[in-house]
Amino acid sequence: MDRTEILIQINLIFKDTLDNEELVIMESTTANDIEEWDSLTHIQLIVAIEKTFKIRFTSKEIQEWKNVSEMIDCIKSK
Amino acid sequence: MKKEFSELRKNLKKDNSTLKSIKVAILGDTSTQFLTQAIKGLGYDYGFNLLMIEADFNQIERQVFDSNSELYTFSPEIIIIFKSSHKLLQSYNKTNSDREFIASKEIELVNQLYLSITSQLNSKIIFYNYTEIDDSVFGSFANKIESSFLFQLRKLNMDLMYFAAKHNNFLICDISSVQNLIGKNAFFQTSVYINTEMVLSIDSLPLIAAKTLDIINVLNGKIKKCVVLDLDNTTWGGIIGDDGIENIQIGSLGIGKAFTEFQYWIKKLKERGIIIAVCSKNTESVAKEPFEKHPDMVLRLDDIAIFTANWGNKVDNIRSIKELLNIGFDSMVFLDDNPFERNIVRENIPEILVPELPEDPAEYLEFLYSLNIFETTAVSSEDKERTKLYQIEAQRNVIQKQFANEDDFLKSLEMKSIVEPFNKFNIPRVSQLSQRSNQFNLRTIRYSESEIEKISTSNLYRTFSFSLEDKFGDNGLICVIILKCISPTELFIDTWFMSCRVLKRGMEGFVLNTIVDFGLKNGIKQIIGEYLPSPKNDMVKDHYQNLGFIKDSNQWKLALEEYKPFNNYITIKNK
């Protein structure tokens, strides 16, 4: 799966999990850009991404991402 | 059918202002934010507006032992306490000696929490039991070591059950069974645990919320009382009308096993007080045959309160079962293997619960278990008698249909009544009826037990209680009369109420005959009655007129000299 496909999937997951249809997630997006993205919903997002891509993140990975781009790197590496 | 957590969260934005509000506090030793959202969100689907407060995590003791805490200011109807196995393991880890007392110490703490809460609040406590985790220090050998964590954890859950058995306001929510259902790996997610202070996985939240709301539901009177059973391919395998009694599948072989086990489950429900009714498209005698003759049937005719087998449609049949039982559709469950019948019933009676039974009968039970339909918060010994009462009533209805003539029917009942003044044996029942009787109650004056006692010994009053039994069974005390002497020749009917169970049996005439007979023997010339309307006693507004009383302003008068006794078929039974 290439980066664009992953980004499209991530957009769907964010919209559903954060219950906001108007969200647009870019590679450069960070938690600061999105009101609903807090430490709690972060966990919901992680779990949803793990489910969708059938992967598991390590605890270290979850805490290291600075933006969506790094998240995609991580997904691609699995 | 269960919603995901993210869907439950969407409920939080919906308008719940018209729903019943209930105040709920959650106290946890781990973070409970998601749990609170899940419960509140699912509460919307259950029809509740849950007003929830959540203590900061690990504040259970402070909230409970400080009488100025938010908990007591909030004064919730329900308090959920969630002490996690992980925190228990942490404190076990820090304990170097006396590890075999971990469970006892924890129970003592639970007791202190309970005492502190119940001394200040009238709340129900829903306590989550401990999910099973193991530190695997001893392996299976832990089962032989009292100081092992596994030993203490299991003991604690057992002790909790003993504790709950003794304390009415303390209910256990069995989240351990949720863990059991979905498995430990799905119940606990390390990524969630490490990054938050939460020990429940996202996927487990809707299930735990459902388990919790099932209890809240019951606490609010939403309880299932009756199962309506289809027969062919639901209660047994095959079609009795086509296959015949020797070919239906039931017993210990093959798929028969599934039906036998299903029947044992229904039987246990019946013993617990759930009413079992049958609704089958069959010829009645054919449908009854297995219940009477098949050696492997677990259910017998005396387990069934109402047996409906005919070729009419099930919606009408279920309606008439509901009428006979005098319960709400929302307290009924309909089990049928046929999707067509399920849909028709669902469409016409939306309140009734119609589980979507799996296609394979082998899966019926596991599926039904998972729905947790019969949650309850109390069981009484009276529950066990219920089936019998309804069976007797149903028998009477059947017999009545066989008589073209009402009098012949009444005669056939062989009714007997014990008539006696109030005494120490019947006073509790008299006062109980005085509190409860609404419809057949002429003046709706409520008397407490001590007031009834005073009346029973006063010279001003004459009291009568009536029981009624017939060849089918005993209804017990069903009618009460209190007469007040207002002059040497006049009696006023201060109280006349009767149980609606015995309407249309000629009881009213029998009662009046008894009163008049008493009056004539005591020099009474006139009996005076009065009807005071209440929101519920419309049924007796013409009561005195029907009995031949003459209206005199707001009262009804009966001159005893001209009285002609009512014909009836009740005889006096001497004790």
- pLDDT score for B270: 94
Query: Of A19, A43, A56, which has the smallest distance from its Cβ to B196's Cβ?
Result: A43
Query: Of A16, A39, A57, which has the smallest distance from its Cβ to B191's Cβ?
Result: A57
pLDDT by residue (tens digit) across B1-39?
579 998 999 999 999 889 999 999 999 999 999 999 999
**CB burial readout B222-253, b (16+ within 10 A) else e:** bbbbbbbbbbbbbbbbbebeeeeeeebbbbee
Tokens of residue B414, six digits: 């062989």
Query: Cα–Cα distance between B559 and B410 in angstroms, integer?
Result: 28
**CB burial readout B348-360, b (16+ within 10 A) else e:** ebeebbbbebeee
Q: B192, A42: Cβ pair inside 8 Å? A: no
Percent of chain B residues past pLDDT 90, beyond the cut: 76
pLDDT by residue (tens digit) across A23-65?
999 999 998 999 889 888 898 899 999 999 999 988 888 888 8
Residue B400 has pLDDT above 80, yes or no: no
- pLDDT score for B555: 95
Residue B504 has pLDDT above 90, yes or no: no
Query: Cα–Cα distance between B409 and B370 in angstroms, integer?
Result: 47
Query: Of B13, B33, B192, which has the smallest distance from its Cβ to A47's Cβ?
Result: B192
- First-to-last CA distance in chain B? 59
Pairing of strands B526-530, B555-559: antiparallel
Residue B502 has pLDDT above 60, yes or no: yes
Q: Where are the domains of chain A?
A: 3-77
pLDDT by residue (tens digit) across B70-81?
999 999 999 999
Query: Cα–Cα distance between B62 and B56 in angstroms, integer?
Result: 10
Residue B401 has pLDDT above 90, yes or no: no
- CA B94 to chain A, closest CA, distance in angstroms equals 25
Band of pLDDT at residue B256, cut at 50, 70 and 90: very high
The candidate with the shortest Cα–Cα distance to B432, out of B415, B457, B452, is B452
Interface test with A, best of B30, B194, B199, B204 (most A CBs within 10 A): B194
Band of pLDDT at residue B443, cut at 50, 70 and 90: very high
Hey, what CATH class is B226-371 in?
Answer: alpha beta
Q: B195, A59: Cβ pair inside 8 Å? A: yes
Q: What is the pTM of this model?
A: 0.72
Band of pLDDT at residue B383, cut at 50, 70 and 90: low
Q: What SS3 string covers B131-146?
A: CCCCCCCCHHHHHHCC
Q: What is the DSSP secondary structure assignment for residue B437, as one 8-state letter?
A: -
Contacts of B199 in chain A (CB under 8 A): none
Spell out which chain B residues touch chain A, with contact meaning CB-CB distance below 8 angstroms: 5-6, 9-10, 13, 33-34, 189-192, 194-196, 198, 201-203
Query: Of A17, A19, A62, which has the smallest distance from its Cβ to B191's Cβ?
Result: A62
Please state the rounded mean pLDDT for residues B375-395: 74
- In order of B212, B282, B371, B519, the CA distances from B25 in angstroms are 13, 52, 25, 62
Q: A59, B34: Cβ pair inside 8 Å? A: no
Interface test with B, best of A23, A36, A47, A53 (most B CBs within 10 A): A47
Hey, what CATH topology would domain B404-572 get?
A: Aminopeptidase (3.40.630)
Please state the rounded mean pLDDT for residues B210-221: 91
pLDDT by residue (tens digit) across B89-132?
999 999 988 999 999 999 999 999 999 999 999 899 999 999 99
User: Any long-range contacts for A35-42 (C-beta under 8 Å, 24+ apart)?
Assistant: A39/B195, A39/B196, A40/B33, A40/B34, A40/B196, A41/A17, A42/B195
- pLDDT score for B380: 63
B206, B370 contact by CB (below 8 A): no
Cα dihedral across residues B2, B4, B5, B11: positive or negative: negative
Q: What SS3 string covers B504-544?
A: CCCHHHHHHHHHHHHHHHCCCCEEEEECCCCCCCHHHCCHH
Band of pLDDT at residue B249, cut at 50, 70 and 90: very high
Residue B210 has pLDDT above 70, yes or no: yes
- In order of A11, A40, A65, B391, B551, the CA distances from A31 in angstroms are 14, 12, 10, 66, 83
Q: A42, B195: Cβ pair inside 8 Å? A: yes
- CA A35 to chain B, closest CA, distance in angstroms equals 16
- CA A4 to chain B, closest CA, distance in angstroms equals 25
Contacts of B33 in chain A (CB under 8 A): 40
Name the one residue in this structure whose structure tokens are 């093959």: B254
- pLDDT score for B122: 87
Q: A47, B189: Cβ pair inside 8 Å? A: yes
Cα R_g (chain A), whole angstroms: 11
Please state the rounded mean pLDDT for residues A6-27: 92
- CA A43 to chain B, closest CA, distance in angstroms equals 6
- pLDDT score for B382: 59
**Top-ranked range on mean pLDDT: pick from B323-337, B348-362, B561-575:** B348-362
Q: A62, B195: Cβ pair inside 8 Å? A: yes
Hey, what CATH topology would domain B5-219 get?
A: Rossmann fold (3.40.50)
Contacts of B189 in chain A (CB under 8 A): 47
Hey, what CATH class is A3-77 in?
Answer: mainly alpha
Kindly provide the ipTM of the predicted complex, given to two decimals. Answer: 0.85
Q: Do domains B5-219 and B404-572 have the same CATH topology?
A: no
Listed in sequence order, the residues at least 6 apart from B404 whose beta carbon sits closer than 8 Å to its beta carbon are none
Band of pLDDT at residue B425, cut at 50, 70 and 90: confident
Q: What is the DSSP secondary structure assignment for residue B353, as one 8-state letter?
A: B
One-character DSSP codes across B102-132: HHHHHHHHHHHHHHHHHHH---EEEEE-PPP
Please state the rounded mean pLDDT for residues B322-346: 91
Taking residue B485's Cβ as centre, other Cβ atoms within 10 Å add up to 16
Please state the rounded mean pLDDT for residues B252-264: 94
- CA A26 to chain B, closest CA, distance in angstroms equals 22
Band of pLDDT at residue B381, cut at 50, 70 and 90: low
Question: Listing from the earlier edge strand, what are the strands of the sheet with B48-54?
Answer: B48-54, B20-28, B78-82, B124-128, B170-173
Q: Where are the domains of chain B?
A: 5-219, 226-371, 404-572
